[in-house]
């Protein structure tokens, strides 16, 4: 099947996991032509993430950018593959805010919607996507396509599994995480305060990539934090 072939190609090119979802009804009007979402997951290095304590590191910032570049390359390859099969396909940048949208705090489409619909993981109190194997230590990319398998795709939303944990909430230096439990359709502002997060990073971590990264809430999450040596 075409999606299996696509997944095999993306994994062989460096993706850690690939998931599929039926996304049409969650898309904004300008993207309604698309039916299927392909979510590309690339895991972050544990050795690098584990160095984040109360601040991001220069190594983490470089790693973050390198992984975003890999994801953009993978989604481009996915688009070319789908186009070669005769379908429209559209990639969404790994990390790009759209000027004017949600005060500049949002991209064209959240990568998390396709990721959570695909059943590869859940969304935690941190509002991060928690992959079933890698926890929040992942970056995501999205391809939208007009291709739809004959039997459709059944979405599989996994309920949040944070339980009583509140590590991300108490560790966030900006107090940006409200501590609510995610559900499909919840307003992002009920989960986190993106302005508080962004302002804190810009003020306190401006010497590292001009304050574009933090990573503390990802680092402290018990999911995916098994130390590999």
* 197 touches ligand SF4 (CB under 6 A): yes
Instruction: Pick the stretch among 2-10, 85-93, 108-116, 192-200 that binds ligand SF4 (CB under 6 A).
Output: 192-200
* 217 touches ligand SF4 (CB under 6 A): yes
Interaction pattern, residues 69-108, with ligand SF4; x per rule: CB under 6 A: ----------------------------------------
**Shorter beta-carbon distance to ligand SF4: residue 22 or 126:** 126
CB of 160 to ligand SF4, least distance (A): 7
DSSP for 94-135, written as a single string? SS-PPTTGGGGT--SS-HHHHHHHHTSEEE-TTS-EEETTTB
Give the separation between CA 147 and CA 82, rounded to whole angstroms.
8
* 126 touches ligand SF4 (CB under 6 A): yes
CB of 112 to ligand SF4, least distance (A): 13
**Shorter beta-carbon distance to ligand SF4: residue 149 or 179:** 179
The one among 162, 182, 191, 211 contacting ligand SF4 by CB under 6 A: 162
Instruction: Kindly give, in sequence order, each residue whose CB lies less than 8 Å from that of residue 163, ignoring residues fewer than 6 positions away.
Output: none
Footprint on this chain of ligand SF4 (rule: CB under 6 A): 124-126, 162, 165-168, 172-174, 176-177, 192, 197, 200-201, 214, 216-217, 220-223
């Amino acid at each position: 099947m075409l999606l299996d072939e696509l997944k095999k190609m993306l994994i062989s090119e460096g993706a850690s996991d690939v998931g599929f979802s039926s996304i049409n009804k969650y898309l904004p009007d300008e993207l309604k032509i698309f039916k299927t979402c392909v979510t590309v997951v690339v895991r972050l290095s544990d050795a690098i993430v584990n160095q984040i304590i109360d601040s991001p590191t220069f190594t983490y910032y470089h790693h973050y950018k390198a992984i975003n570049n890999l994801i953009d390359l993978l989604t481009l390859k996915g688009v070319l593959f789908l186009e070669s099969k005769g379908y429209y396909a559209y990639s969404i940048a790994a990390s790009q805010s759209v000027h004017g949208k949600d005060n500049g705090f949002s991209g064209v489409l959240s990568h998390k919607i396709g990721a959570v619909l695909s059943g590869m993981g859940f969304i935690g109190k941190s509002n991060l996507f928690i992959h079933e194997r890698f926890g929040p230590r992942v970056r995501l990319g999205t391809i939208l396509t007009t291709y739809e398998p004959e039997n459709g795709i059944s979405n599989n939303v996994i309920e949040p599994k944070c339980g009583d944990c509140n590590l991300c909430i108490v560790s966030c230096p900006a107090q940006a995480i409200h501590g609510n439990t995610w559900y499909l359709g919840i307003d992002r502002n009920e989960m986190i305060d993106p302005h508080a997060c962004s302002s804190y990073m810009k003020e306190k971590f401006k010497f590292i990539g001009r304050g574009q990264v933090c990573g503390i809430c990802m680092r402290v999450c018990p999911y995916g934090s098994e130390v590999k040596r």
